[in-house]
Structure formats: structure tokens, C-alpha cells
Amino acid sequence: MPAGSVRFCQSNHIRWKSSKMPDYSLAIDLGTTTLAASLIDCDSGQRIAMTGALNPQRCFGADVVSRLDAAIHSEAAKSEMTSLIRAELLRMGQQLCQQSGIAWKDVRRAAIAGNPAMQHILLGLPLKSLASPPYRPLQTSGTHLKSTDLDWDGQADIYIFPMPGGFVGGDTVAFIHGARPDDATLCLDMGTNGEIALISGSTIWATSAAAGPAFEGGNLSCGMAALPGAINSVQFDGDRVRLQVIGGGQPLGICGSAAIEALCELLRCGVVEPGGRLRDAHELSSNLASRIISHQGANAFALHRDAQRRILLTQDDIRQLQLAKSALRAGIEVLSERSCIQCQALRNVLLTGSFGAVLRAEWLKTIGIFDESMIHISRFQPEGALAGAETALMQDDGFRSVEKLGQRFRVVPLSGTPLFETRFIQNIDFPVYRS
């Protein structure tokens, strides 16, 4: 057999082993709310194992702005955030190796993709240039490190993805690198940082809309990451509410995709008005009225109730989702105008994000992010940034293709932009539901 090859014999299940040194790599999606890591075999091109966790920096704030503010005003807070994320990523990598029976020392490379704030904090870089206008990262190209530079054991080579500008970072570059979108394609990462990119020939117009963590379950009263115990589907069957829970059993909270699905059902049934108000029980003629309860002085809809807990979608939760969807839609319209590609002229729409379940395009139309024309050309790409980091590792070209991609970006700031502010107000309401 050729050197380096692997074969399985079906008759006796003997695996012919190669004398070639193993080539294992670690891909990481460094999210504001959630983290994802995968261990890959670059020789076979296969993912061996994957894991996820919450970002331990959340104790300093749920969003990028809160964490930047904490870090700017306290060097101790900044140092602690750096230590926390480095330790957690190391723990995740070592856990993947342990579960896969692979020695940590055999992981030769790692690629990390996150938004500029998360990458700056990971690297321990000064943050003032990123925390105030014109919001510029200290460096726009990728960064090559050794594992010891991140206080990790071993001698792995580490690559941090480019940061094109503003709050458009390595996670967007990784997503597009893995997806390889065609011309007139809209790429949307519905995470806390809300990155949007529109491909126009050789130019990638990009921006970041501060959507907040609601789409990932953060900042919701009963929100949680898409982990066991999270509600990941909500459907109304007449007056009955049917839930699906990751791993089965009793629900502990609700993930982002299910919160969006629940909001769509509430809009469809008229429980939530287009302006976002959760109606009072006496205004509803169906038995869904029995699920309207008072919570902290406002209405809430009870998705689940038992002796231990209540899983609610509150009026404030609905407002959080409403603000997030308006910011994303306004950002899309700003890029559409800058690129001279109208939404109706888009050829493809690619979605990603740490929602939990696959996000349906119909839901995004219902809440007002998508037009009708965008529904039929959209597809969901799970683990967009993580998949892009894996692709870059397996190409083994020294990340040159990633660097060339990063140079194609043209970042459009939204803060203080009159067009964005106008479109944000115009899109604040939910569309009137039509079946």
C-alpha cells in the first residue's frame, strides 16, 4: 500500500496502520455567547469529535460592548477575561483529545475565529482602538502564534483569523471561507455580534449590527444555549403548545431558534401584536389566554409549567428579539444600498449562528428580517465559522487563501449612519401576519 494510506478490511476488521505522524488539528469558533471546538484528522479530512460550551466571560456582560467597557475601565478585568477564555479553550481541546483517545501533544495546529473583541481579548491586545470610533482593530491580517503564547501546553502552531475592520472579524471570514459563496450572495451570522456580508463581484461588503445575544438564547428570561435540557422546538396545535427538548426530559430553558419559532407562533395566533405587545388574557378568545401570566409587572407567555420551574417568553424577551431583528434588517438594507444589489436581486442567502436547531427562512420572514423573495434562495449552514476554520486547516496552505479572502472585505460602519438609523426605526414593527 502507498505510504500514508489507510484501509479497512471488511473480512477481519484489520486496520493497516501508517508510519506517518498523525496530523490532528483543532478548530475553534470563539463566540461571544457560545464556544464551539472540533478535533479533525487533516489526513482523512474527517471531524473526529466536537464540543460546545458557554463563554466564561459572560460574567462581565452578555454582549461585546459590556465586556469592552469592563476591560477598558479595569486592567484586572481585562486580564481575567483573557485568562478565562484561554483556559476554557484549552480545556475544550484537551477534553476532545481525551474523549477521542488522542494525545494532546499530537495536535499540531489550531485555528481560531471570533469577532474582533473576542480575538483582541484572547490575544491580550489593547482595546481602546476597538472600543471607540472609528472602531478599528489593531491588526487586520491573521496572526500566527505558538501554543505557549496562549499559555497552552504543547507546541502547536496557532492561527487567529483576520479582522477586516470594525466589528467584522475572523468568524465572518471563516464562515465565508468555508461557504465559498457566489456573486450576489448575502451571508448572515445571527449571533450576538450580528455580522452581515454581501458578495458583489470581487468585493465583500460587510458590517456588524449589534443584535445582542437574544438569538443565541442569551438575555432572555429563560434562555440558554442549545445544550441538553433546552427547548429546541415550539409548535402550536390549536390551543395546545407542543415542545421538543434536547435530550428529552423536562425543559430547563429555551434556545435561540425555539424562541424565534415561539415568537412566530404567537404572531400567527395574534397573541403578539405587530407592534410587539403581548396581549392581555382577556383580549384572547382561545385557551391560549390561560398561558398569559404576570411577570415582573408585565405580561409573559408560559411555554411550560411544572412544580419545579416555569419556562416563559416575557414581554421583555419579545422586545429583545424585536430590537435584534430590526438591527439585522436595517444592516442588510444598508449593505444592499452600498453594493447596489437589491434584496430582490439576490441569488443566494446563507445563514449561520449558534441557535440550536436549523433556522427556517419562513420564521425570518414572519419576524421581518427576510423578504418573500429571500425565502426560496436561503439555506442554513450549521457551524459556519467552525466549518470554515476546519476547511482552512485541511487546505494546509499556510492560511494564504484565508489572508487573500480577508483583503476583499470592505467594512461599512453602522453606528451614527443616518440611513441605518432610519431603516432601524422603519423595521422595528413585526410584519402583519398573513397566512
- What does DSSP assign to residue 56? G
* pLDDT for residue 163: 96
Residue 204 placed within a domain: no
Residue 256 placed within a domain: no
Residue 7 placed within a domain: no
Which has the closest alpha carbon to 189: 425, 399, 388, 385? 385
Position 153: which residue type? D
Question: At what angle are helices 116-123 and 64-73 packed, to 10 degrees?
Answer: 30
* pLDDT for residue 423: 95
Report CA Rg, the chain. Answer: 22
Inform me whether the pLDDT recorded for 2 exceeds 90: no
Number of domains comprising the chain? 1
Residue 60 placed within a domain: yes
Residue 167 placed within a domain: yes
Query: Rounded to an integer, what distance in angstroms lies between the CA atom of residue 35 and that of residue 122?
Result: 13
Burial of 199 (0-12, 13-18, 19+ CB in 10 A): buried
Look at the block and give the residue holding cell 494546509.
396
Query: Rounded to an integer, what distance in angstroms lies between the CA atom of residue 254 and that of residue 232?
Result: 7
What's the first-to-final CA gap in the chain, in angstroms? 61
Give 87-102 pLDDT, tens digit per residue.
999 999 999 999 999 9
C-alpha cell at 2: 502507498
Mean pLDDT computed over 374-395:
93
Residue 50 placed within a domain: yes
pTM of the model: 0.87
Beta bridge partners of 198: 186, 205
Query: Rounded to an integer, what distance in angstroms lies between the CA atom of residue 30 and that of residue 350?
Result: 20
Q: Which domain holds residue 155?
A: 20-176+387-398
Query: Rounded to an integer, what distance in angstroms lies between the CA atom of residue 245 and that of residue 235?
Result: 12
C-alpha cell at 169: 472579524
Q: Beginning with the edge strand found earlier in the chain, give each strand of the sheet holding 310-314 in spatial order.
A: 292-295, 298-305, 310-314
Q: How far is CA 226 from CA 232, 269, 275, in A?
A: 7, 26, 28
Give 258-303 pLDDT, tens digit per residue.
999 999 999 999 999 999 999 999 999 999 999 999 999 999 999 9
Residue 263 placed within a domain: no
Residue 134, preceding bond cis, omega within 30 degrees? yes
Q: What is the CATH number of the domain that holds 91?
A: 3.30.420.480
Residue 210: which pLDDT band, with cuts at 50, 70 and 90? confident
Residue 86 placed within a domain: yes
